[in-house]
Amino acid sequence: MNQQELFFRHLAQTSDIPLGLEITKAEGTWLYDVQGKKYLDLIAGISVCNTGHRHPKVVAAIKEQIDQYLHVLVYGELIQSPQVQYASLLAQQLPSSLNSVYFTNSGAEAVEGAMKLAKRYTGRTGIIAFKQSYHGSTQGALSVMGEEYWRNAFRPLLPDILHLDHGSFESLGYLSDRIACVIVETVQAERGVYAASVEWLRALRKKSEATEALLIIDEIQTGFGRTGRLWSFQEADIVPDILLLGKALGGGMPLGAFIADKKMMSTLTNRPVLGHITTFGGHPVCCAAGLASLKVLFEEKLISEVKNKEKLFRRLLVHPKIKSVRSAGLLIALEFDSFETNKKIIDECIVNGVLTDWFLFATNCMRIAPPLIIQEEEIKEACKIILQSIDRVMS
């Protein structure tokens, strides 16, 4: 029985049409399958591999940590250098009120922890989220996801959650003294890359302060330079009460985090003790990898190149069948007339050596979110193949 047969027999499937490529190697911006065919990666593991696949410094950090220790005890009990160093570096890159890091296994777990923290700190129960937002698929995260198609099959979910229109000034009137927190994406990625205006984000920050509702900003997809700034919230010159990170946080290893002020975070230490707990969150190998990856972002000045690379993609991706192009740095959506058209073009791209995909709430849009290390010539090659694939599908 070959690997593909075993894949379908023994691995739980999440869709009826998985890509099914058998990848045997990944390096830089390229993936290689079992036949030796290479694919230019335009999705970076869904915005995970910002510094590319297996960056030498990330691999070296992983190997060094493996030689010291792996898991030693449940998170938060022992002083583990990779956790301490990474939390310290993150705090140095954030506003002073975001100084306490709780590491989790994933972005969705960070969402869960942040929701608990908000309720515990404020003593309130109401939560505001936004339509067409994506925050993960666990029960709590699913409850704040802004798309009924994905939620309905798993009801009942958490109560006391209100979904409002993202970017609507009128929606801000629903914030009140019974709301524990507002959870928002600066850029709604899975909607097909829709960025909130600076004016709206500032108004949301002002209204949340007036009602003493905590502002949770989800930068799980946009963080670590994806939009051209280290943190997307910097564009609006605002500071969240709680910041959510994941995906690129681990440099290719599984890692998430919610970050807040030490005073706020300390409420999880008592009444009850161990108010939030995880066994593997902040695994030392994952933290070592993430720490090395963040240093690479700075050392190689990758973030400063994002906007120019975005402009190159936008300049080259012009075709009568592309209805629109939306982008926030190297998070780009190409809109077509239907999912059927988009899927055929995606499949043709894969045949021709470019790996891309679609968005959860915008199935007619092609996702482009490559490693930030992608070079100009690779961008040109990728765009050439995408345009050729469109022509072949539409001919």
Phi-psi label, residue 341: left if phi above 0, alpha if psi -120 to 50, beta otherwise = alpha
> How is the chain split among helix, strand and coil, in percent rounded to 5?
40, 20, 40
State the average pLDDT over residues 327-345. Answer: 98
Going by pLDDT thresholds of 50, 70 and 90, the confidence category of residue 89 is: very high
Residues 333 and 223 grouped into a single domain: no
Q: What is the CATH number of the domain that holds 244?
A: 3.40.640.10
List phi, psi (to 5°) of 388: -65, -40
* CA 245 to mean position of chain CA atoms: 7
Residues 48 and 87 grouped into a single domain: no
pLDDT in tens, 125-156: 999 999 999 999 999 999 999 999 999 999 99
Residues 62 and 74 grouped into a single domain: yes
Per-residue tokens: 375: 């070079």
Distances (CA, A) of 229 to 226, 256, 301, 330: 7, 19, 11, 11
How many angstroms separate the CA atoms of 114 and 141, rounded? 10
pLDDT in tens, 206-254: 999 999 999 999 999 999 999 999 999 999 999 999 999 999 999 999 9
Going by pLDDT thresholds of 50, 70 and 90, the confidence category of residue 4 is: confident
Residue pointed to by tokens 């998070």: 331
State the average pLDDT over residues 90-96. Answer: 98
Residue ending a domain, among 270, 299, 328, is: 299
User: Which alpha helices (DSSP H) does the chain contain, by range?
Assistant: 3-10, 44-47, 56-66, 81-92, 107-122, 139-144, 148-151, 198-211, 262-265, 284-299, 306-316, 339-351, 376-394
Please give the pLDDT value at position 2: 87
| pTM over cut 0.95 | yes
Residues 157 and 280 grouped into a single domain: yes
How many angstroms separate the CA atoms of 344 and 350, rounded? 10
Please give the pLDDT value at position 13: 85
Angle at 298 between CA 308 and CA 358, to 5 degrees: 50
Q: What is the CATH number of the domain that holds 40?
A: 3.90.1150.10
Residue ending a domain, among 274, 299, 324, is: 299
